[in-house]
Structure 1
Amino acid sequence: MEAIYAPKDILNKLQDSRKNSLIILGDEPVISNHIKEHIKASTKINHFEYQSITIDTSLKIEKLKPIFENNSLFSNKTLFNINIPGGRIAEEIKKLTVKIISENIEDIFIFHFQNSTKDLVKSAWFNKIKKYAIQFDAKEPSVNQIENVVKTRANYHKLDLNNESISLLSNLSLGNLLAAENELIKLSLIENNKSIDAKKLISLISNGSKFDSFELLDYCMKGNIKKTNQALSYFEEEGMEPIILNGIFSWIFNAISKLKFSMIMPVSNKKLMELKIFGSSQEYVINALNKLTVKQIDASLIKIKEIDLICKGLRTGDPWLEINRFVFGISRLLNKKSE
């Protein structure tokens, strides 16, 4: 897992394999940025110059040639960071890139193909570059992978998270690696090399806030409409990532759904613990099981997934508008149920 999500010694691996290029396939930002920053730092120590290039459908060979052929660049070894968003690339540009990497073996080339397709990996151009390259995939981890990936990234940042805190952070980020990474970076600045359990994680994530995300959950699931609205407004004004708030509701509603469909009543403390539901959160779950119908729980999970896609840019919409509608709606629903 470390080799995929936190690769090390990339420059040495290139040299050992007698290759001078890296291929990054995909647009997951944590992995692709890790690889680029790692190789950039390694080559900087070895006095490489750095050149960033974007090859897209609008690029003309007349603009690209001088970058590769500039004598001042080739007076030293150079790291070329070549970003390729996608689309049809001119044949003459493809031929030039292959020619350059084959002739300049002392330089390092990163080819970042952001839009990975079957046609791309089958193409003659890609396979010609591949002869000189080590390949990395930059893809969003699956639901089954996310906890191991978060653990790998936590180790990379020298953070000691126990299994419970890793599971909680994975749920809070709704399986989004970038959201989890942002939290890990913040934690590494204040808790480097210290053990972090779930309780401490919650405290650190909400440190210094007028409201914390679990207070929002508390207000919403108890049907406190006024406080729910105040907390939502505060988080939006403070610029919190809506995907984090959505992750908390995903965590709690997935547990509610599993218990509702299990038909095991009353719900035992052991079962709640197995689902990573602790402390006062157990009260929310039991209340929701008693007050919400199967149809309402299913509709909530569908909405949570929809908000997740909007947050990731995979569906059109305003994430803050949707999270406000959803959370406020649940609060009103539970408020009515308590009357």
Structure 2
Amino acid sequence: MRLTPNELPAALERGLAPLYLLSGAEPLLLDEAVDRVRAAARDGGFSERSFHLADARFNWGELYTDACSQSLFASRRLVEVRMPAGKPGAAGAKVLKELSGAVPEDTLIMVVAGALDRNARRSAWVGALEKAGTWVDAPLLSAREQRGWIRDRLAGEGFQPDEAAVTLLAERTEGNLLSARQQIDKLALAHDPGPLSVDAVMEAIADASRFDVFQLGSAALGQDLRRTARILAGLRRERAPLTLILWVLVRDITTLADLYWRTARGDSLPSAMGALRVWSSRKAEFRSALKRHGARSIRRLLVRSARADQVIKGARPGEPWTELQLLAFGLAEPHRMGADR
């Protein structure tokens, strides 16, 4: 069964599926879907959780063994696997198909991927997971859908926004739903429910950090290490949300990766940028970055992104700000990731 993120809460209330595939290019909607499944699993008695990061060196046999083994504490288990690249390879596809054919009793399997390309969406392993459980896909929202999402979130906080307020918030956050949610949370703290004017939104935006988090990706793509370090230091002093900073970097890394793979298969760069809705003001940054990065360094950036996400969420030891700096510097200069073209 395939669902949208909006349809997932009602489906979870009706009961848990034995298996979930969560994918999509919209990080906030994807993360919210993951959190909803985890919460529903906890409420359903799945008190034990194991985590696997399926990077290029991952041994898929370990996942199969873990999923099929009985818990030492005789509890129900959630087995989660993350695929940063969205492609399990032949070995992974085989394991996922085998698991979808017979999910062990008292085990819930959750496979989390990023955006799936056309071939992946039509693959046998995706078909097997969808047939055996639930596939929740969170694609990028169009500009119209983003405004609708902002309008619905404001309404959920009790606001009745005018159209100018919605439009301003959408333009300021440039399609970044995580940033839009942060601004909406600030508005909810500062204003009582009721009519919401464009002036109130402008006031909230003006109060944003002077070290604009959205400048971080531009500094890194522009290979300006000094500016990148300065912005990160300012964000750290002001205790900016780690998840927002990571979102900004991952957004630009995934866009860079998509541009690389599209042009590698023969698409023209202008066509690829148009398909990915790259802002005119940022085209030069991505064009410059594509001259520095190749397949190997891009893959390393994706793996490093997944690592930073784990560290920030406490699923892996490490210092979050160090991970963010390594990721930003690696985006600026590939050799800092220990990878060449």
Report the TM-score, using the length of structure 1 for normalisation.
0.56
**Whole-Å separation in 2 of the counterparts to 1:234 and 1:96:** 43
Give 1:29 shift.
0.9
Q: 1:212 to 1:68 in 2, by over 3 A?
A: closer
Q: Which amino acid aligns with 2:31?
A: N
Q: Which residue of 2 aligns with 1:117?
A: 117
Structure 2: gaps spanning 5 or more residues:
213-229, 249-276, 293-341
Q: Which amino acid aligns with 1:182?
A: Q
Q: Which residue of 2 aligns with 1:46?
A: 44
Question: Counterparts in 2 of 1:303-314, with a 5 A limit?
Answer: 305-307=280-282
Q: Which residue of 2 aligns with 1:278?
A: none
Aligned residues: 236
Q: 1:93 to 1:9 in 2, by over 3 A?
A: same
Q: Which residue of 2 aligns with 1:169?
A: 169
Give 1:43 shift.
1.9
Q: Which residue of 1 aligns with 2:10?
A: 9
Deviations 1:281-317 (A, max 9, x none): xxxxxxxxxxxxxxxxxxxxx9962338959x99789
Contact 1:23 1:112 in 2 (8 A): yes
Question: Counterparts in 2 of 1:149-168, with a 5 A limit?
Answer: 149-157=149-157, 159-168=159-168
Q: 1:72 to 1:108 in 2, by over 3 A?
A: closer
Report the TM-score, using the length of structure 2 for normalisation.
0.56
Structure label with greater radius of gyration: 1
Q: 1:86 to 1:235 in 2, by over 3 A?
A: closer
Deviations 1:180-224 (A, max 9, x none): 223223334444645422111222333487x799xxxxxxxxxxx
State the superposition RMSD in angstroms: 4.2
Q: Which residue of 2 aligns with 1:144?
A: 144
Give 1:33 shift.
0.8
Q: 1:191 to 1:75 in 2, by over 3 A?
A: farther
Structure 1: gaps spanning 5 or more residues:
214-232, 245-301, 318-339
Q: Which residue of 1 aligns with 2:58?
A: 59
**Whole-Å separation in 2 of the counterparts to 1:303 and 1:78:** 41
Q: 1:194 to 1:78 in 2, by over 3 A?
A: farther
Alignment of 1:77 with 2:52, yes or no, is no
**Whole-Å separation in 2 of the counterparts to 1:32 and 1:131:** 20
Give 1:94 shift.
3.0
Q: 1:192 to 1:62 in 2, by over 3 A?
A: farther
Give 1:148 shift.
0.6
Q: Which residue of 1 aligns with 2:199?
A: 199
Deviations 1:152-177 (A, max 9, x none): 23344555433321111011112332
SS of the residue aligned with 1:103? Answer: coil
Contact 2:79 2:108 in 1 (8 A): yes
Deviations 1:253-290 (A, max 9, x none): xxxxxxxxxxxxxxxxxxxxxxxxxxxxxxxxxxxxxx
